[in-house]
Amino acid sequence: MHSGQAAIDYLASVVGKTDSATSSHWHKYHSSFLFTGSGFEGLQGFGGCSKPRGIILSATERLLQSRFRKMGGTKFALLDQLAYEITNKQNRAYDLDVLRQSLTLSYLHDHTVGLLSEKSTGVVIGDGFGSMTSLLIASRSAGRVVLINLTKTLMVDLWFLKLWMGDQVFDTSVDLVTNSEELSTALGKPAGEGFGRVIAIQAMDHQLLRECPANLVVNIASMQEMDPPVIAAYFDDLRSIAGHQKLMFYCCNREVKYLPDGTITRFSDYPWAAGDEILADELCPWHQQYYSFKPPFFRPYDGPHRHRLAVMTNH
């Protein structure tokens, strides 16, 4: 097990190795990825990470975000403030990619009443810059978050978690595990004061999810970038968890996406089961358009995004 800074150091030592779960999308967008030891270059394909805007651009961005902020639910005001505080510590802009995380978590609070609390264990598959992981912990929507991602992207997630948490809390609250024994040890640790606990897993070790006592699993715009067999493997992991306890899965992805090598992923083709209890299923209101600082100010994504909240069955 690698804890705190040692987890980042370990990932840096293996970052050049081929990740078996990598699709052609990530072969393309990770091609120029570089960890310099003090930061990253070539960050592409998993959300924005702009520096804080100046006064004029900040005001303009706030205005452009207004139509999305109206979509927020009952917890949105709190989550919005927390997201601002998190991105401020990370020295990055509170852009639409982060705002979508705030809107999503507010939506989940409204649709999973009583599920999200410091007693909950959440799983984030494919976070970007640790945004959802940070929000889950900061809002006490989960006392423990299991974060799984490709090696390069996972290192970025942990880096930005460290910027938010600070060195001392990060070193005592974050563990990277690579096998069942390490996972069991990490699960036995108490949540850190005010920051919860994060357990990081490389995507190549995804089967460890089966041993996690998860209440909620979240995947936002990353299954669409996986090859279908990898998507199916994650669904198998979730159904294994569902065999032991009630598990809700929030999935927001493009209805159809074409990967660089010609592979097509379709939301409707994900291995949903007839026994899954669908609590919500619609086009995601805040994931149909994005804004630009130049006209036309609002533009559609390359295809509609659907979100579904389901209670998973184990078969």
Instruction: Give the residue-averaged pLDDT of 240-265.
Output: 96
- Report whether 185 contacts 215 (CB < 8 A): no
Is the pLDDT reported for residue 21 higher than 80?
A: no
Place 46 in a pLDDT band, splitting at 50, 70 and 90.
Answer: low
Is the pLDDT reported for residue 30 higher than 70?
A: no
Place 31 in a pLDDT band, splitting at 50, 70 and 90.
Answer: low
Q: Which residue has the tokens 């948490």?
A: 165
- Any idea which fold 2-311 has? Rossmann fold (3.40.50)
Helices (H) and strands (E) counted in the chain, each on its own, are 10, 15
For 120-149, write each residue's pLDDT tens digit: 999 999 998 999 999 999 999 999 999 999
Average pLDDT, the chain: 92
For 219-234, write each residue's pLDDT tens digit: 999 999 999 999 999 9
Cα(130)–Cα(134) distance, rounded to whole angstroms? 6
Tell me the three state secondary structure of residue 88: helix
Question: Residue 203: what pLDDT?
Answer: 96
Question: Residue 265: what pLDDT?
Answer: 97
Cα(274)–Cα(314) distance, rounded to whole angstroms? 11
Task: Please state the length of the chain.
Answer: 315
- Report whether 148 contacts 209 (CB < 8 A): yes
Element (H, E) at 289: strand 289-291
For 97-120, write each residue's pLDDT tens digit: 999 999 999 999 999 988 999 999
- Report whether 283 contacts 308 (CB < 8 A): no
Question: Residue 208: what pLDDT?
Answer: 98
Measured in degrees and rounded to the nearest 5, phi and psi for residue 292 equal -135, 155
Amino acid at 30: H
- Report whether 314 contacts 278 (CB < 8 A): no
Place 29 in a pLDDT band, splitting at 50, 70 and 90.
Answer: low
**Cβ density class 189-198: b for 16+ within 10 Å, e for less:** eebbeebbbb
Q: Is the preceding peptide bond at 190 cis, omega within 30 degrees of 0?
A: no
Place 50 in a pLDDT band, splitting at 50, 70 and 90.
Answer: confident
Question: Residue 267: what pLDDT?
Answer: 98
- Report whether 158 contacts 174 (CB < 8 A): yes
Place 22 in a pLDDT band, splitting at 50, 70 and 90.
Answer: confident
Instruction: Give the residue-averaged pLDDT of 171-190.
Output: 95
More confident residue, 288 or 260: 288
The domain spans of the chain are 2-311
